[in-house]
Structure 1
Amino acid sequence: MPLTSHLRELRSRLLKAISAIAVTTIVAGLFYNQLVDFMLDPLPGCTISGAGSSTERCGIIATNGLLAPFTLALKVSITAGLIGASPIWLYQLWAFLAPGLRHTEKRYGLVFLATGIPLFLTGAAIAYAVLPTTARVLISFTPGKATNILPVDDFLDLATRMVVVFGLSFELPLILVMLNLAGAVSAKRMAGWWRNMVISITVFSAIATPSSDPLSMLALAGPITALYVAACAIAWVNDRRRARRRPAPLSPDEPSPLLPPEPPGSH
């Protein structure tokens, strides 16, 4: 394809992707209240009149400023639009790149997408599941005579970071498997890293989770460690398959198949 044809195709793909994001953003805006309620559900909120009257600590969920509700609605709608339209704009990206890839590269790319998206969604679901515990632990540090004001923007930023961190963390085993399929790392080497990997995963989980409770840390470290073990097992199977396909070394007394056989009676 000439350069102008590539640019025209890129423009067409971008228009389709942007149009899909715009449509899903508008649809998400119609359900803005339901989306915000779903995101704020993990927060232990309390009313102003009941603030501090309960033995369990809570916070007053609030927005700050006249434009804050509109900005919040715009941010939530655009984020939901990007997520909702992800199958479309991911396909447009793939359709633009696929003609320049080899057959093996296409297969690896499809496997990466087909496995990576469910792994990311699983990590995001676990992050949302531990958000209530995280919120309660963080709010418990509020002094007894004080009331915690919980800005909606701050909590949504925290929830978004946790979802992204958990989702991307679940991609680590997939990256290791892809490196093994490409021949960059062997299963034996991956298994030899297990001590450092377990320590690194634990430290990363302790830093990535904003609360200090062990439940949130184990909710992230446990599945990643299990996925790392599964990645080592897949790499081991792939190395065994690759070794079976590799031709066996020749014996010193065995003639090389590259040399033509000697005719009978030549000696």
Structure 2
Amino acid sequence: MSAPPRVLTVAGSDSGGGAGIQADLKTMLALGVHGMSVLTAVTAQNSLGVQGAWELPVEAVRAQYRSVVDDIGVQAVKTGMLASAELVEAVAELLAGTGAPVVVDPVGVSKHGDALLAASALDSMRTKLLPLATVATPNLDEVAQLAGVRIESEDGMRRAAAAVLAYGPRWALIKGGHLPGEAVDLLTDGAEEHWLRAPRHDNRHTHGTGCTLASAIAAHLAKGRPVPEAVAAAKEYVTGAIASGFPLGAGIGPVDHGWALGRSR
């Protein structure tokens, strides 16, 4: 039997299982690709927030990456939590020599408002990592953090996309989930636009949406789908996961990564 497409996530661990590496691997399994991981940080995290975070040494990140890529190979890479400038720059150097599509989720703040990216790492994110991205997937808070552009309505999303594209990614997916009304995202490469709309589900259990969406895009890119198709399919998957999100602990529960497998709880 042949191996399924292989996708590598370079991200932090969420001990509560709703976001980070755990969400990435669940998403990849659900979408029929083989998920692999490079751990960049360990967090103590649950439904109430992040109680602690410990960055891994750069040499440990490099060793994990080389171990996987040199032996197994990858068809797509997704990056998530890269807490420091040193990690951002090391991962960018590794990605530059890999030659696979890269989905950059510029994780800056957790669902609970906890900072996950040092201010000193922002410039490295802008100048080293984003230029390597096939698709960058910032939400509106991350656009403000990276580019200083604050958007409070759908009309401003083109401006947000232009600000992100100025850093060099091939495509920018501006996630408008924080806006009222429909859940609307804008995918653009500066020439063509794709507006992706989905109903907003009345469900507060949305932990892990950003990680899940970026991993789903990477999974579909690994299958050979063009960027607009990959993003549209990923949006459909994450919308279903949000609709099926479930309570866990005393705070915000996770999206349901297994919804598309038809399993019941």
TM-score by length of 2: 0.25
- Structure with the largest fraction of strand: 2
Structure of greater Rg: 1
TM-score by length of 1: 0.25
